[in-house]
Structure formats: C-alpha cells, structure tokens
Chain A
Amino acid sequence: MNWNAWIPLLVVASSLLPGLIIFRLPEERVRTRITLNLIGAFLKLVLVGWMLWGVYQGQHFETRLALLPDLDLVLRAGPLSLIFVSLSTVLWLVTTVYAIGYLENSPHRSRFFGFFSLCVTATVGIALSGNLITFLIFYELLTLSTYPLIVHRGTEEARRAGQTYLAYTIFGGALLLLATVWLYTLTGSLEFTPRGFIHGLGEEHRTALIIIFALFITGFGVKAALVPLHGWLPQAMIAPAPVSALLHAVAVVKAGAFGIIRVVYDVFGIESAAELGVMSPLAWLAAVTIIYGSLRALFQNDLKRRLAFSTISQVSYITLGVAIAGPIATIGGVVHLVHQGIMKITLFFCAGNLAETLGIHKISEMNGVGHRMPWTMAAFTVGALGMIGVPPIAGFVSKWYLGLGALEVGEGWVMFVLAGSSLLNAAYFLPILHRIWFRKQTAAWPHEHNFGNKETAWALLLPPVVTALMALAAGLVASAPFSPLEWAQLIAQREFYQP
C-alpha cells in the first residue's frame, strides 16, 4: 500500500468531508461544528506538512483517478502546488478561527461553514491539480462554492453582487473550457509538465496557440481581477468579512493568478510562450492593472472597497512576475502569491474587526481608532506597510525580486511601474495610518459592541495578529529553509535550469 498515492486526495477530503457533514448539522450545534472545522483544518495542516517534508526529500505524491478514457483526475504535490496549498491550509485555519468569532450569533452558520469548507476544498484542489482538466473541475467548484458565500446575507444587494460575480466567472469558465478542450484536441495531453508540453506542435498551430493563450488569460484573468475583468471584485465586498478575506487573499483571486502561473510555466512553458510573443502583452496588462487598481483605491472612502482595489493591483504583481519571464522575476511573482495573501488577509481581518467591534466601515470614521484597538491596528499597520513595500516586511521581498528580475532580462520599464505603484500604495495607505494613530477621535463609534476590557473578542483578535507576525517573519527570515522564498527559488530553478 503506497500511502503517498492517497495523501493528496486526503488533503482534499480533509475539508470536503467536514464540509458535507456541517451542511447537515442543526444550527445550534455550535461545538460540534467548531470541532469539525478545527479537526479538518489541523488534519490538513499535518498532511500538508508531511507532503512538504516528503517533497523536500524527493518523494512523489500523486493521486490518479480515471475520469475519461484518456484523461485522469490527477492530484499531485509538486513545489508549485505546495506553495499554494500551504498558503491555503494555513490561512484556512486562521480564517476558520476568525469566522467562528465573527459569525458568533448570525444565522445560517451551518450553511456558511459548509460552503466555506467547500471553498477551501476547491482551492486546495486547484493547488494540487496535476493536469488542466482537474484544475478546471476544481476551478469551477470554487466558482460555485463561493457564490453562496457572497449572497450569504440574503439581501437584494447581495443577490445582485452574486449575479455579477457569476456573470464574470461563468463567462471566464466557458472560455477556459474552450481553451482546455481545444488544447487537448491539439496536443492530446493536459498534464502539467515543467517547461510546458506544447513544444511538439508545428508552426501551423501558432495562431491557434496564441488564441488559446489569450483564452486562458482571459478566463483566469476574471478571477485574478485583471483589468478590465475586475468588475465583480469590489461588488463582492458585500460578503461577510471572513469571506472577503478568503476571496481576496487566498481562494478566488489567487486561484486566477495561480492558473496564470500554471498556464505559463507548465502548459506553454516560458520559452514557448515567449516565442509566441504573448508575454509582453501579458506584462503590460499586468502593469496597467497594477496602476489602475492603485489609482482607483486612492479614491475609495469605504475601507473594504479600498482594500478591494488594492487587491486588484497587488495580485497583478504575480502576473507581472510571471510575464517578465526571467528566473528572478519568477521568484518575485511566486513569492508574492504567498506574501500578498498573508498581508491582505491581515488587512481584511482588521477591517472586519473594525466593522464588528465599532461598526466602522468608512475610512473617514477611523480617526484615532488606534487607541481604541491597539493590537488590531498594529496588525493593520504591519499589513499596510508590507503592501507599500517597506522592509523588512514580506512585501518588500517580493518587490525586490520583481525589480531585480525585470532588470535581469532588460525590462527596465517595470521599475517605473513598481515605483509608481509603491508610491500610490503609500498614498492610499499612509493617510489611513495617520488617521489611526495620529488623529483624535472626532465622533462616537458608529455601532460599538462591548467586549469587557478587551478591545475585541479573542477569536477576532488572534488571527490578524498571527498573520501580521507571519508577514513580518516572511520578510525577516526570508532565506530560512521552508520559507516561501526558498520554495519560490526551488520552483524557479525547476522552471529555468533543469532540462
């Protein structure tokens, strides 16, 4: 019995099964639900840890189930998979704790946590997918399982946000399906392969390949919120804070970005893609998105909306790193997948805390809130500074590698994009920090909850503090073994230097 063949499947099942059970739990069985959630989350963490260790030592983890006569459902743990799967697993645990605190007395928690677990299942599945069809399956599952989370509040506004989200993602999904099937009819394979699997195709398929690439980018671009496909993201802010945190930091946008990474590296391969001449347009698209997102963020008064536009901008760093097509830029892009996730989830947790504890939704209401909620706001500050790229926080590492990578391959213009974006980041984050710490409270908090002498509930406070510390750590000890940077370097090595 080869256990390694089952572990990827178990990783997926460790959130799927609790999720399915939770659906059937009566609303009032809070304890059972929490236990199930936490058991699942911890189990997943252990399994992923095992895989990390194993892959580090050169073991193979692969689950293969027959799906169609010549196509299998493949779950495989490679370096690239693991970096995303670890991120999801860790952040799932944190978010679960947060969500338990956040939704303490709200209705339909069973449904919420059920879909929440499905959502994580889908994300982990995306991360572990060993071929495009598996990827596609989990990708669509993600679409479907996030929809109920977005409309969770059951208001008319939520419904409309949900419809918008679907309109975008279903459209994207259709394009992905087309691209996948088309590619399959050309190559007869969909297996993710380092450096791609399209080399064998002759020159006569060049146009088709370019169109397929465009279809892939458009399809994934919807979830990765590439301009002009980003419209759903700010609207989806209607969802409860843990959902926003998950959508923005891990699940949805990252799934899109991860898809782009997969397509460029493991489907087309950097060299083939560059040869097709599709990388520069991608880089430009990413650059435009970075600047556009930052600019829009500047003018939002609603905190969550500002964070949403910031996400649009930040996720495109990943795309940019990929599109620059050099080894160092790759490191920057991939590592940003993790770093942005940790930092952004911190920010969303904090925003959620503000809303839940004090009823604050608008930036203009945040004057002096640092004194009321020092720990939360400290975490927020770490996240915000990291986003701007202040050393030694994680964001700095990403930007550093991106810049270096661009210079390495002679794409100097990227430096301007990075600089401009950092400036804009500063422009929309620093005023907030100024308000938090240096202004006096001007009006009563809109809707204050009393948590005794604590600034807020433990379950709400702990997650952002933990993730903020992680963001700090990722920057401080960036070159420690098993750090995101180390893995990113491993991946880059595999993509560029191995035959």
Chain B
Amino acid sequence: MEALALLQDVFDILLGFGLLWLAWLALFSLDLFRSIVSFISFGLLMAIIWVRLDAPDVALAEAAIGAGLTGALFLAAFAKLQPASVNGKGSSINPQKQSSRKQLLRWLPALIMLWIASGLTIAILALPPHATGLTSEVTSNLTASGVSNPVTAVLLNFRGYDTLLEIVVLLLALLAVWSIGSSVPSIESEPGPVLDTLSRLLVPILIMVSAYLLWVGAHAPGGAFQAGAVLGAAGVLLVLSGWKLYPGLEGFPLRLVLTAGSITFVVIAILTMLVSGTFMQFPPAQASILILILEMVATLSIGVTLAALFIGSPPTDIKKL
C-alpha cells in the first residue's frame, strides 16, 4: 500500500508539472497554433486532475466546455484571424525586437509574480489541513433537495439562484457576440464525405450521451451543463460539416430556444414563490421533477447557445435588422 501511495504521489506530481508545462507552452510557445493545441491538452489534463480530486462533475464540465468548446472557440478565432492580421503567427516573441528595456519590462513582472506566488503559497499553506466547509449542511439537506448528487443539489437547489444568473451570463455572452460579430466572417468549410458521415454517425450518439448525462445528473456525476456542452459539441460538429439552420427557424424559434432555459428558470422560480411563498423554494416532494424539467430545458438552451457562440455571427434574421 505504501508503494501505491507513493505511486499516486508521483502521479500527482507528474500531472501537476505536466499541467504547468502545458500552461507554459500555451502561453509562451512561439507558434500560436501550438499554443492553442497546448491549451486544449491543458484542459484535458485538467479534467484528469479533477477526477483525481474526486470532482467528476467538474471533470465532465472541464472536458466538454473548458477543453472542448473553449478550444474549438480558440481554433475558430485563430482561423478567422489568419487573413485579417498581418502577422498572425508568433508575433508575440520576436528575439530581434527585444531591447534591454523590454528585457527589464519582462523581469520586473516576473519578479512581482514570484513575490505574489510566494505570498499566496504561504497563505494557502497556512490553511488548516482539515476543513469540512459546507459538506455537512449539504448532506443533511440532500434529501429535501430532490436529487441525490450533491453537486447538482447545490447547483440547482441550494444555490440555484447563482445558476440562474449563470445561464443569463451565457445568454448575455451570445447577445454580446451577436451584437459585435455581425460583420465577422463565418467559418466556411467543405466538409467532404468523411466528415459528413462522421457527423451523421456522431450527432445522434452525442444527443444520446447528452440525454444520459442529464438524466444521470440527479444522482451521479452529470447535469445540465455537462449535457448542454455535449449537445453544443454536436451542434459544432454539424456546423463544421456544413449544416445550416432552416431559415424559417432562424428568427423567433431560435431565440425562443436560446432563452427557454432562463425563461423556464424564472417561471419555475415564480411558481415556487406562489406556492411556497419563497423565491426558488422547491417543495421537497416536487423538487425532483421540477429540477428535471428545469435541467432539460436548460440543457437544450445551453447546447444551442454554445453552438451559436461557436458560429459567432448572428443569424441573418438579426443581421438584416
């Protein structure tokens, strides 16, 4: 057992340093493309670390959103940057350009970073080695929450208000992107038969996975965000293989789907207020079904929103107005 513990420690150390190394590559590699790829790998490694830290819900979210979708966003932006910028690649570090003053401008922040890092290290190490946080409160109220996965309970019941605002943040990001991005070129690709086949095969599976994650989220790792992210990934895949939304759906129907999550949240919150007298107080008996409804609609909205974020430019219906 000693050996196993040691092995685990070595594994942790390797993971930790691997993470730092990938972060370094992502930030300071000469080739921007390599940076982005490093960042995606960074996200995957991060997901493994989440598992190591017994945070499978976070791991799922990280893999799907942190590494997957964020990575896709970066890659898409990188692709769009190429024609627009004069020196898209590796413009950040140019050895010839560095004068002594620039050297100083690098060393000074580096020293400050070291100082901050050491201060924070001391602060973290000063924390007591054991702390329960809110574990006991969560556990004792879990039965009343309507779900048995504590993370889902926190997300959708105990701190559901945060989650409502968070969904609004996501929607807001899309509004902002649409507001800004009306002239940003959309991605054009010739999918080719392989990608086409792949997407036809993969998208149904992804939808199924999404539904599974949603369902299982009540008692095991998973939930609306993870499910939504998978759905979003399916959407991204469709976009990449050249699928387009039926024009009739680009207007109000699309907007309705995008807002459905927030609207459902608000409606349920108001209903609970009418029934129990308190905003977002789910009656324990109905909590589970309410949360499921909420998550289902939210998943759909999150998925579509993420896919729309990936596309970047607003649908023509918005654009022409």
A–B contact with Cβ pairs below 8 Å: the answer is: no
| Residues of B that sit less than 8 Å from A by CB | none
| Residues of A that sit less than 8 Å from B by CB | none
